Structure 1
Amino acid sequence: MQSSVRLVRVLLMTLFVGAALSGQAQENKDSFVFGDPLPDAPELAARGTSKVGVRTLKLTHPGQMDVLHAKDGKTPLYDRPLTVEIWYPARIPAGKAEFTQYDEVMGVANDPKRPLIPYTFAGRALRDAEPEPGQGAYPLVIVSHGYPGSRLMFTYLTENLASKGYVVVSIDHTESTYRDAAAFPSTLLNRALDELFVLNEMDRLSKKDSKSFLAGLLDANNTALVGYSMGGYGVLNATGAGYSEQAGKLFGQMASGSTALQVRSTGAPEYKASQDSRIKAVVAFAPWGMERGVWDANGLAGLTRPTLFVAGSKDDVSGYEKGIKAIYDGAVNADRYMLTYVNARHNVAPNPPPTESLKPGLPFGEYMRYAEPAWNERRINNINQHFVTAFLGIHLKGLDYGKYFDLKENDADGPWTGFKPRTSVGLEMRHAKP
């Protein structure tokens, strides 16, 4: 009798816990995720009509220069692993929710003051969903994070673009992520090389005989690069801004005399040969390097693709007047825009601070890795969604979105096109043609 009672209690408890977990899952999938529009979000911030799938893919770039083990000017080779996260228009089966949890960490590898702390956050995408074929192959967007950083830093933007008919691939740059951050020379050398390799891999995997879920799904000949901070440094180099002689000297000082960076320098035959016509547009959030002499006038003159720069006027990492704005001014052969968040510092691209970063006792840096002192990060995210949607819509899809850039430098003469009244305050937009 007692065993029967215990069995009934166990069954009832199982049903209760199951119902609670089911309710929690329902609550999670319907709750706010990064990138959802605020009431004051500009017009193009809202999600598109496509549902979104997400997958993780492991890649290997063979025979790369291992600058972290350079010695006496000699640089060995290694097979460089890269993990990418891919968002794409997807079919969501009946009974399935467009919901996922991303696995992330706070902290920095090899820093005892900031130990790695795993956490999760919600996303609006279905893991491993079947792709939704378009009327043609979708444009490709490749995203590159800062140092250190993560392929998951920009889910507000990557999910949003996938819902608008793009295949979006965000890279974990080996030796440059929170989990494996290593010495800086690896980041200096590998950013553009990683981005171009991922472009080649996406091209290969999109072939109809590849047996990949990407087969026929994307058009690598219609690609944009998006980079933040060191990612911005990389996407500019990948698209024509060759590094200066001073950059090569700085690299050699940090990498035991290695000359590996020369292959990405202005005038190098290898660099000229790497210029890729498949890349049609560039978005550079707070690109690093100008204040350190990474580029000179000759290098910046090599930028010829349409480019959208995004900056904070108080950026204390990449610099503004002598940093990001100087790159914008020096890119004399590109049709370029620069969106400035007045009084923002460096964090003009990432997700908002995760709730875990608010816990007492954590290092202040875990919150400030994402937060902007003078701005609401969710508002920045919505504005970024709006302008990146417009910019890529023009250059990758041929959409008539020019009105969203036909703006006064600020809103002194009235609100900007696409913005609700009183909500474009604190923004500046510059435009310069070749």
Structure 2
Amino acid sequence: MIAVLRGAALALVAVLAVPAAAQALPDVPELAQRGAYPVGVLRMDLTDPAQKRTLPLTIWYPAPGQGGGTPAHYVMKTPGPAATGGHVGTARAAVPALTGKRFPLVVFSHGYRNWATGFSDLAEGLASHGYVVASIDHRDLEPTTSESRLRSFAQVVLTRSADQRFVIAELARRAGTGPLANSYDPASIALIGYSIGGFGALITGGAGLDPEGPLYKLAPQPGIAPYAEGAPLEAQAPAGVKAIVAFAPWGGSPPLRAWSAKGLANLTTPTLFIVGDQDDVSGYGEGVHWLYENAVHADRTMLVYQNAHHNIAGDGVAGIPDPTFEWVERLEEPVWRRDRILSINRHFVIAFLDRTLKHDAAHGAFLNVPTEKAADGSWPLGAGQSVGARYAAPDDAGARGYWPGFQRRWALGLELHHAAPGGRP
């Protein structure tokens, strides 16, 4: 019996050591499958002299196909790929970047007290589909008392957009130099933010804060002033940013609503919102849905996870040794499988970015769903018929009423909303 248990334990360790992407179940949506490019990963540190802050970046990129390098390990709170520990990704460290194609650049901004490599699944997936992904470690202050928590959060409010703007500008400046020289296009950039990172992304995109709003009045002065409605920064969204993805962006919900409808109307960049309809941090109806409704001058799409809270982005507790319930509550969802969330995020983010940055109409068509609620889709079969593992497609007469890119019966618990510029949904 001891030998059997020991064997089972070794088998479990072997399974846990396999990269998460390699164990994906065969129910992933169509675009969530790994792309054609091998993926490399490196660390780069940028120092912002204006803020006197050094920001580590973990950068994933398409690599040549000759192999080499070492497997990337992602360790909690540790920027860049590590030699051991954490969880093992599919990317390889110490491999060159594929140059000459000038891939779109994605800048990722994490949530409060998160870390860059905690979003490796999405980053590796995007890189395999032809994107260079730079994820910022914002190095949020870790609070130890209620007073230091207020100081920590005030720092985050003041620095998220500033960090994003600095990294975008600096990477654009370095596009022709260094280890990533000529691998990305500084005129074709997407900004992705989660939670407070999404808050920063909306500001960076041009949505100035309401100077009469409760958050503005509580924030440190004069540090918050550059981000107000009418301030110069509002009209100076980075020129290269052509798409925004906001995962559960914080700041829309009372009592600390950060924007007025007027400020949100200044956002014109195509934006994909992703949120759980039970979000108890950013809020749904009076939170993210309110943001989606009032960003009236942007082409916007909103993916909704029914019965999900706030943790609809990130790798979850992967790589955290012996996670307590506090970690599970902070990073996981009670209803949704983590691998399912990750695969759905990859599918829709790739569809959105391919449509917006690569002008790929075929992949953009995955956003044209026949029903707002996936459960209302129809893919009828006769008695005894089966479609096997076939994906629904717009040109498939039998599946035309079902969400494209999903297998029959498997688009469930999701909503997809769209509003064109110029009006409310």
Q: TM-score normalised by the shorter chain: which range applies?
A: 0.7 to 0.9
Partner of 1:331: 295
Q: CA RMSD in A?
A: 2.6
Q: Report Cα offsets for 1:222-280 as digits up to 9, x if no partner.
A: 00000000011011110011111144x6355353xx221110111012432x2222110
CA distance in 1 between partners of 2:226 and 2:299 (Å): 26
Question: Does structure 1 residue 409 correspond to structure 2 residue 372?
Answer: yes
Equivalent pairs, count = 374
CA distance in 2 between partners of 1:294 and 1:252 (Å): 10
Partner of 1:219: 185
CA distance in 2 between partners of 1:218 and 1:342 (Å): 36
Highest CA radius of gyration, 1 or 2?
1
CA distance in 1 between partners of 2:367 and 2:141 (Å): 34
* TM-score when normalising by structure 1: 0.81
Q: SS of 1:152's equivalent?
A: helix
Spell out the pairing of 1:77-92 with structure 2 (5 A cutoff). 79-91=52-64
Spell out the pairing of 1:105-116 with structure 2 (5 A cutoff). 105=77
Amino acid at match of 1:297: A
Change (3 A) 1:355 1:127: closer
CA distance in 2 between partners of 1:165 and 1:405 (Å): 19
Change (3 A) 1:28 1:89: farther
CA distance in 2 between partners of 1:120 and 1:225 (Å): 26
Deviation at 1:175, TM superposition (A): 2.5
Deviation at 1:128, TM superposition (A): 2.2
Residue 173 of structure 2, aligned match among 204, 214, 228: 204
Amino acid at match of 2:334: P
**8 Å contact 1:104–1:119 — kept in the other structure?**
no
Partner of 2:285: 321
Comparing 35-44 and 315-324, the one that deviates more: 35-44
Amino acid at match of 1:380: I
Change (3 A) 1:93 1:101: same
- Note the residue ranges of structure 2 that are not aligned, 5 or more in a row: 1-9, 79-83, 379-401
Question: Does structure 1 residue 342 correspond to structure 2 residue 317?
Answer: no
**8 Å contact 2:70–2:94 — kept in the other structure?**
no
**8 Å contact 2:215–2:257 — kept in the other structure?**
no
Residue 379 of structure 1, aligned match among 330, 337, 340: 340
Residue 237 of structure 2, aligned match among 243, 259, 275: 275
Deviation at 1:32, TM superposition (A): 3.4
CA distance in 1 between partners of 2:202 and 2:240 (Å): 15
Runs of 4+ residues over 4 Å off in structure 1: 27-30, 176-182
Deviation at 1:410, TM superposition (A): 1.3
Change (3 A) 1:194 1:35: farther
**8 Å contact 1:36–1:156 — kept in the other structure?**
no
Q: SS of 1:49's equivalent?
A: coil
CA distance in 2 between partners of 1:85 and 1:153 (Å): 11
Q: SS of 2:55's equivalent?
A: strand
Partner of 1:263: 226
* TM-score when normalising by structure 2: 0.82
Spell out the pairing of 1:46-61 with structure 2 (5 A cutoff). 46-61=33-48
Question: Does structure 1 residue 99 correspond to structure 2 residue 71?
Answer: yes
Partner of 2:157: 188
**8 Å contact 2:69–2:95 — kept in the other structure?**
no
Aligned sequence identity (%):
39
Deviation at 1:29, TM superposition (A): 11
Q: Report Cα offsets for 1:277-316 as digits up to 9, x if no partner.
A: 2110110000001112201111110111111100000000
**8 Å contact 1:185–1:251 — kept in the other structure?**
no
- Note the residue ranges of structure 1 that are not aligned, 5 or more in a row: 1-22, 65-78, 107-117
Change (3 A) 1:169 1:253: same
Question: Does structure 1 residue 294 correspond to structure 2 residue 263?
Answer: no
Change (3 A) 1:261 1:33: same
Question: Does structure 1 residue 166 correspond to structure 2 residue 118?
Answer: no
CA distance in 1 between partners of 2:75 and 2:208 (Å): 36
Deviation at 1:132, TM superposition (A): 1.5
Partner of 1:396: 357
Q: SS of 1:417's equivalent?
A: coil
**8 Å contact 1:240–1:303 — kept in the other structure?**
yes
**8 Å contact 1:252–1:259 — kept in the other structure?**
no
Amino acid at match of 1:276: P
CA distance in 2 between partners of 1:298 and 1:162 (Å): 36
Amino acid at match of 2:121: Y
Deviation at 1:355, TM superposition (A): 5.8
CA distance in 1 between partners of 2:351 and 2:263 (Å): 28
